[in-house]
Amino acid sequence: MDTPSSELWWNRPEVWAGAALAGFAAVDSFSPSLMHRATAHQALLAGLSGTIGWATGSAAYAIGARTNNAGADTAILATAAAAGLAARHLIPWHEREPQWRAPIRSVAQIVGAGAASATLVTAVRNSSSRTAVGVGAGVIAAAVGAVSIKKEIARQEANRGDHDLEAPKPWQALLQGAGVLGVLGALIGGYRNSGGALARVMQKRLGVPPYAARHAGRAIATGVWVLGVRAVFRSLTGGLARYDRVVDPGYDQPPLSYQRSGGPGSEVPWARLGRQGRRFITDAPTSEGIEAIMGQRAIAEPVRVFVGYDAARSAEARVALAMAELRRTAAFDRGLLIVSCPAGTGYVNTLPMEVAEYATLGNCAAVAVQFARLPSLLALQETPYGADHHRLLLAAIKHELETRPPEDRPKVVVYGESLGAWAGQDAFIGGDIESIKALGVSEALWVGTPYYSKWRHESLYTGDAAPGTVEQIDSFEELDTASSARIVTLLTHYNDPVALINATMFYKEPQWLMDSPRKPGISSSQRWRPVITGFQTMVDAVNATNPTPGVFRAFGHDYRLDLPRVTVAAYRLPEPSQDQWDRMLTRLQKDEAARVNAMKLAAKPLFVLEDTDLGD
């Protein structure tokens, strides 16, 4: 049986209304954002934005063009478009507006864009020569889109450095974006059609009434899709968690030093340190290396203690292992003890530890306890668990030090970066600076803190912290090095997407885009669009966590250029001479470049430690 011409996709106006807005959204996604983008990232953005545009445009036509009267449909859609696109003026922003205004304003703008697209399609369909008008409109739209993309890529190119990602190739990005749109459209269509198919089966085979069959079919289909997505997610996270047990080629030999976990006499086997734990232990200077860089005799060999996720089954047991290691390595006899809170995979940026080890001539110990095995984006729900580990470890250290004379106690400081900063700060929620002091912490350095850290908001924006005790900076130059009141240093770049991204930017223009003038690092060409800016910032956050190895920069989520001097100032360490700084920074960058090759997976990665081998 032939399909009626009106049912063919190219004759369906809602399809063209969706396609028109999808094209506009895809082009608009090329606009600059916080980070530079490559072709693959731009394709993902174009596909996501296009999918939203397609759904909005087609839905607007389906809802607004229902009178079967061309003139009436056009008038309704045009009125909706005008009202929606004028939402910024009809519902203006003001500083203390109630929370409902921003989402209403954004929804109105989105509906207005969809209605405008549908109005255009309606006008073309009602034209006496609609084929010619449609072709002409398509040619004009393509030309305008091409010019716009060229202009936006040129804006992306502004201030692009030698180590930034290459500019996206427009045609490749659009074609790949169309593929992303197609996949997402197929998934959405599959979900919608599966409910209808089940309803028809229930109606024809089981005799279920049409109304009940329709709703039951949707409910069952939704349940099946949810279970399917959940199974895929579990399979993905399970596979990622296994990589914590990978032994990298450059980190396959346990240390020979008694001052390192996994070494001689250690209660934590090398295999159970985890991938990032082995890196944490290995990436430390020796006493000979310290002497070569600092030109002075080392006081001691630096201590590194790490307890991997697989080393024990509970936070209490892992902390107990860490304390045993700290005692075994004589970490409490050192002048400085850095307690780090890892990110989701167990990763700790060892750069501050290395700087402190050089500055103190080795009279330093560092400890971290792993609380999760997944990338930070997938480990967000584990943040409270990380806070528990951090709090328990600090409490145990404080209790241990109270048994020693004050003059024989090391200065205890804390460090955290990205999700590690969030989890580390959560250990002190509700107690402000006093809770930090209560656990025996002298100074804290937190870097690239994600937006949703409750402690950070309490301390900076509710006035809970005593004046001068918490200092948030973009760079070392902003730090008040003469301050004696400062306890917490928050190093956060103005253009760090990890620190800026939050759910509200999908429907509300963020303050950092309304600032005039804008903060350093935020492009003057960046503009806010409902939904699209949120997707852009998500992609920015992924790009920002992949810096060039061995090239220290101060941009986005890359803090390596700032960290050495900020670490010395935040922890009030002995200030190296300029020659020592020069040699230290050169060595740190060379070491990092060499370590990246050591972390590359072998052709057949070696996995160790099965689940059945977990300790108690």
Reduced 3-state DSSP string for 520-581: CCCCCCCCCCCCHHHHHHHHHHHHHCCCCCCCCCCECCECCCCHHHHHHHHCCCCCCCHHHH
User: Which pLDDT belongs to residue 103?
Assistant: 92
- Read off the pLDDT of residues 178-231 as tens digits, 9 standing for 90 and up: 999 889 888 888 888 888 888 888 888 888 888 888 888 889 988 998 898 889
CA distance 586 to 498: 28
Q: What is the mean pLDDT of residues 497-502?
A: 94
Task: Report the 10 Å Cβ neighbour count for 89.
Answer: 7
- How buried is residue 206: exposed, middle or buried, by Cβ count under 10 Å (0-12/13-18/19+)? exposed
More confident residue, 587 or 137: 587
CA distance 574 to 411: 14
Q: Is 419 helix (H, G, I), strand (E, B) or coil?
A: helix
Q: Are strands 246-247 and 303-307 parallel, antiparallel or unpaired?
A: unpaired
- CA dist 541 → 84, 376, 497 (Å): 31, 11, 5
- Read off the pLDDT of residues 52-66 as tens digits, 9 standing for 90 and up: 999 999 999 888 887
Given its phi and psi angles, is residue 574 left (phi above 0), alpha (psi -120 to 50 degrees) or beta? beta
Q: Which of 68-77, 384-393, 499-508 has the lowest mean pLDDT?
A: 68-77
Q: Which residue in 77, 52, 53, 51 sits closest to 63, CA to CA?
A: 77
More confident residue, 534 or 164: 534
pLDDT confidence band for 1 (50 / 70 / 90): very low
Task: Report the 10 Å Cβ neighbour count for 18.
Answer: 28
- Read off the pLDDT of residues 321-350 as tens digits, 9 standing for 90 and up: 999 999 999 999 999 999 999 999 999 999
pTM: predicted TM-score of the whole model, two decimal places? 0.90
More confident residue, 442 or 483: 442
- Read off the pLDDT of residues 100-159 as tens digits, 9 standing for 90 and up: 899 999 999 999 999 999 888 888 877 767 677 777 878 888 898 889 989 988 888 877
Task: Report the 10 Å Cβ neighbour count for 484.
Answer: 7
Cis peptide before 517 (omega within 30 of 0): yes
Q: Is 288 helix (H, G, I), strand (E, B) or coil?
A: helix
Instruction: Give me the residue spans of the domains in the chain.
Output: 254-437+570-609
CA distance 282 to 616: 26
User: Which pLDDT belongs to residue 93?
Assistant: 85
CA distance 584 to 309: 32
* Chain centroid offset of residue 3 CA: 48
Tokens representing residue 435 in the block: 């809770």
Q: What is the mean pLDDT of residues 34-46?
A: 92
pLDDT of 78 > 70? The answer is: yes
- CA dist 368 → 277, 414, 580 (Å): 9, 10, 28
CA distance 158 to 151: 11
pLDDT confidence band for 14 (50 / 70 / 90): confident
CA distance 172 to 177: 8
Packing angle between helix 39-64 and helix 170-205, nearest 10 degrees?
Answer: 50
User: Which pLDDT belongs to residue 616?
Assistant: 38
Q: What integer best gives the mean pLDDT of the chain?
A: 89
> Between vectors from CA 340 to CA 335 and to CA 341, what angle results, nearest 5°?
160
Q: Is 246 helix (H, G, I), strand (E, B) or coil?
A: strand
Side chain identity, residue 512? W
- DSSP-assigned beta bridge partners for residue 447: 417, 491
First vs last C-alpha separation in the chain: 68
Residue 496 CB-half CA count within 13 A: 24
Q: What is the mean pLDDT of residues 61-86?
A: 86
Q: What is the mean pLDDT of residues 312-320?
A: 95
pLDDT of 5 > 50? The answer is: no
- DSSP-assigned beta bridge partners for residue 185: none
Q: Which residues of 553-578 are buried (b: 16+ CB within 10 A; e: fewer)?
A: ebbbbbbbbbbbbbbbbbbebeebee
User: Which pLDDT belongs to residue 463?
Assistant: 66
Q: Which of 193-197, 236-240, 254-258, 522-526 has the lowest mean pLDDT?
A: 236-240
pLDDT confidence band for 9 (50 / 70 / 90): low
More confident residue, 476 or 16: 476
User: Which pLDDT belongs to residue 65?
Assistant: 82
CA distance 334 to 9: 74
Q: Which residue in 430, 343, 423, 347 sits closest to 389, CA to CA?
A: 423
User: Which pLDDT belongs to residue 236?
Assistant: 82
| 3 Cβ contact partners less than 8 Å away, ≥ 6 residues apart | none
CA distance 296 to 319: 35
Residue with tokens 């290459």: 166
pLDDT of 613 > 60? The answer is: no
Task: Report the 10 Å Cβ neighbour count for 162.
Answer: 6
User: Which pLDDT belongs to residue 290?
Assistant: 97
User: Which pLDDT belongs to residue 26?
Assistant: 93
Task: Report the 10 Å Cβ neighbour count for 82.
Answer: 13
Q: Are strands 443-447 and 411-417 parallel, antiparallel or unpaired?
A: parallel
